[in-house]
Amino acid sequence: MLAILDADKEGFLRSSTSMIQIIGRASRNPNGEVILYADNFTESMIKSLRETYRRRSIQEKYNKTYHITPSKASSNVKSLEVVKTDENLPQGFDSLTRGKVKRLKRMTKAEQAIITKDLKAQLDEAIKNREFEKAAAIRDQIKEITGD
């Protein structure tokens, strides 16, 4: 269940587009509900409700035609257990991040390309081995080098 408080207050998160998206996200679950709390109807609320009912009727016709029963999405991914340790993850090129500005500016483009290529290979390996924390650290190093 999702509630939109002060739905009659026009603005960024209560525009018709935003409300349509919010309602659509909630409707991905067959038991999803959206409650709009308001003192009176606004143009945005009316537009979003009309669009929601229009889309719902199209979806219901499709489901009826192809004998589809809506169900909650399931995943075959096993639940992941988060384990926190005090272990520091080994990272290559530590000296690059200590004096970020000075050391990165002194690198030539050829050096940047070599280091970036090696880091991308390490990133691919970390992702392949499902070491996502290590991959995030390597990704951050690549961003520092390339300036993205």
User: Which residues, at least 6 apart from 127, have a Cβ–Cβ distance to it below 8 Å?
Assistant: 135
Mean pLDDT value across residues 94-119: 67
Of 65, 81, 102, which residue is a domain's last? 65
Q: Are 59 and 100 contained in the same domain?
A: no
- How many whole angstroms separate alpha carbon 17 and alpha carbon 47? 9
Q: What is the mean pLDDT of the chain?
A: 81
For 2-13, the pLDDT digits (tens) are: 888 888 888 878
Q: Are 7 and 60 contained in the same domain?
A: yes
Q: Is residue 88 part of a domain?
A: no
Structural domain total, the chain: 2
For 47-60, the pLDDT digits (tens) are: 999 999 999 999 99
Please give the model's pTM, rounded to 2 decimal places: 0.49
Q: Are 48 and 101 contained in the same domain?
A: no
Q: Is residue 70 part of a domain?
A: no
3-state secondary structure 82-142: CCCCCCCCCCCCHHHHHCHHHHHHHCCHHHHHHHHHHHHHHHHHHHHCCCHHHHHHHHHHH
For residue 28, give its domain range: 2-65
For 12-43, the pLDDT digits (tens) are: 788 889 999 999 988 888 888 999 999 998 99
Report pLDDT for 131. Answer: 87
Q: Is residue 123 part of a domain?
A: yes
